[in-house]
Amino acid sequence: MKIVEILISLSRAEAVMLNPSAEQAHKRSNLLQTAAILAGMCALVAVSAGLLWGFAGAAVACGIVGLLAFCSPQIPASVVMRLYKGQRLDAGSPNQLNNITNALSERAELQHRPEIYIIPSLTLNAFATGTRRRPTIGITEGLLRQLSLRELAGVLAHEVSHIKNNDLRVMGLADLMSRFTQILSYTAAILAIVNVLSLIFAGEFTYNWFAIGLLYLAPAISSLLQLGLSRVREFDADLEGASFTGDPEGLASALEKVERYTGHFWEDLMLPVPARRVPLPSMLRSHPTTEQRVARLQELDLNRAYPQIIIREEPMISMVGLGPIAMRPRYRFPGIWY
């Protein structure tokens, strides 16, 4: 891959900051929401286990959740990137992405700079994975081809914020609790069968139908809590990422462009008019709507305390040497879309 080198003016002194009182209030609010949602998911695990095995079961389930939180088992980033056929960008090579990543890592005061992987796909996506000690950011070729360098800086800053705030571990813990609840709920189907057989052969129910119903609904409730947690962390990453670049409008522009390129063309082409732009209920979204995110970023821009970082767009990113992208977006083993 050949990416033209660019000069970037990034210094810690130029950071954009929220009003100190507003920033503290924002961080407190997000922290409380995160704690409340995680506590709710933990309580749901405890209730599900308690319905099956009583107080002892609830205590054991809470102990397992605590152990998972302490150990924080995670799939190595290298394994994730192999699934996406990602290619690591040499951290020592002088190119635009490395320059931006180095500067953002310094601003975020990360102890370990994230490795950058390029994913050969036309989808417009970027994500952080790994741990704080070995963080990794994956960027698709589609994103590199469609976004300007200014917009890419905003996206990278968003992912760096996820790494700084330990969102990888928080969301990993939430996912583990959600899966644990799902496993416990499988017994609801078994208990329902036992109840029906008991009614047929003994004329009475063995287990309480209300408890079975709660077990059956627990995964859906857990998923809603997990989606709520994701939305909270995404808002936080947007605002803090914008403070790292000093350019909220860069990330806002990237969000709007991704929204424009993903889905709407096919909606307009294939769907009848009444079916277009039917908004998904907010509680079923993993991310806030683009409109909400852009509005918050624009509010941050109005309260900017320092001048934005200047990223020189000349020359633009060159994809010379890459050739055509061979991998079109589709589901690939083991069930991931790229």
Q: Read off the pLDDT band of 265 (50, 70, 90).
A: very low
**Model pTM score:** 0.75
Distance set, CA 147 to CA 129, 134, 265 (Å): 22, 26, 18
Sequence letter at residue 173: L
pLDDT score for 94: 62
Q: Is the dihedral of CA 215, 221, 227, 231 positive or negative?
A: negative
Q: Which residue of the set 115, 141, 151, 159 is catalytic?
A: 159
Is 23 marked active-site? no
Is the pLDDT score of 156 beyond 60?
yes
* Among candidate residues 97, 108, 95, the one with its CA nearest the CA of residue 15: 108
Q: Read off the pLDDT band of 14 (50, 70, 90).
A: very low
Planar angle of CA 293, 297, 299, nearest 5 degrees:
120
The verdict on residue 1 lying in a domain is no
The verdict on residue 2 lying in a domain is no
* Among candidate residues 176, 174, 181, the one with its CA nearest the CA of residue 229: 174
The verdict on residue 218 lying in a domain is yes
Q: Tell me: the pLDDT tens digits for 271-281?
A: 444 444 445 45
Q: Read off the pLDDT band of 90 (50, 70, 90).
A: confident
Domain span at 122? 8-337
What are the b/e assignments for 237-275, b being 16+ CB within 10 Å? Answer: bbbbbbbbbbbbbbbbbbbebbbebeeeeeeeeeeeeee
The verdict on residue 228 lying in a domain is yes
Planar angle of CA 258, 259, 265, nearest 5 degrees:
105
Identify the helix (H) or strand (E) that includes residue 76.
none
Q: Tell me: the pLDDT tens digits for 215-244?
A: 888 999 999 999 889 888 998 899 889 888
**Phi, psi (5° rounding) for residue 46?**
-65, -45
The verdict on residue 18 lying in a domain is yes
Q: Tell me: the pLDDT tens digits for 166-222?
A: 898 888 888 889 988 988 888 878 888 887 787 777 776 666 778 888 888 899 999
- Count of the separate structural domains present in the chain: 1
The verdict on residue 3 lying in a domain is no
Using a pLDDT cut of 90, give the percent of the chain over it. Answer: 22
pLDDT score for 128: 92
99 or 270: which leads in pLDDT: 99
Using a pLDDT cut of 70, give the percent of the chain over it. Answer: 71
What tokens appear for 261 in the block?
Answer: 């390129």
Distance set, CA 204 to CA 193, 238, 316 (Å): 13, 56, 74
